[in-house]
């Protein structure tokens, strides 16, 4: 199984400031045959189901604000929120889909400082 490890486990950022969440995979999730990174990011607000933010490591899902961006390749990935809003308080998860079983990171809890 590909193990996904996120850092930090929790993060407190001031409103309007940048938030950065990292995700590392135990093996590369890049496919040279498709030239794509098989990684997605989700946001889970309190009491809600997860919501897809980004797939292919950097493609924003329709309707997701452009303050959310994804980057990285191979084994190291980053989710960045450029200017934190109050509604961004949530737990964020990365997920690899290069191979089954599909696996998620343990989550990063984002709070307001």
Partner 1 sequence: QLQLQESGPGLVKPSETLSLTCTVSGGSISSSSYYWGWIRQPPGKGLEWIGSIFYSGSTDYSPSLKSRLTVSVDTSRNQFSLRLSSVTAADTAVYFCARHVMTMIRGEGPAWFGPWGQGTLVTVSS
> Rule CB under 8 A: which residues touch partner 1?
34, 38, 40, 42, 48-52, 55, 61, 93, 95, 97, 100-107
Residue with tokens 């980057």: 71
Structure tokens belonging to residue 22: 């990292």
Residue with tokens 């599909």: 102
Give least dist CB 18 to partner 1, A. 24
Give least dist CB 105 to partner 1, A. 7
Give least dist CB 83 to partner 1, A. 24
How far apart are alpha carbons 94 and 43 in whole angstroms?
9
Closer to partner 1 by CB, 16 or 49: give it.
49
In terms of C-beta density within 10 A (0-12 exposed, 13-18 middle, 19 or more buried), how is residue 113 classed?
exposed
Closer to partner 1 by CB, 13 or 57: give it.
57
């Amino acid at each position: 199984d590909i193990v996904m490890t996120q850092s930090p486990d929790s993060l407190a950022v001031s409103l309007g400031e940048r938030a950065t969440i990292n995700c590392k995979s135990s093996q590369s999730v890049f496919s040279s045959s498709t030239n794509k990174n098989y990684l997605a990011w989700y946001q889970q607000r309190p009491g809600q189901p997860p919501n897809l933010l980004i797939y292919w490591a950097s493609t924003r899902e329709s309707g997701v604000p452009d303050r959310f961006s994804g980057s990285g390749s191979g084994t190291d990935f980053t989710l960045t929120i450029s200017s934190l809003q109050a509604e961004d308080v949530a737990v964020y998860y990365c997920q690899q889909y290069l191979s089954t079983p599909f696996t998620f990171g343990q989550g990063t809890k984002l709070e307001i400082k």
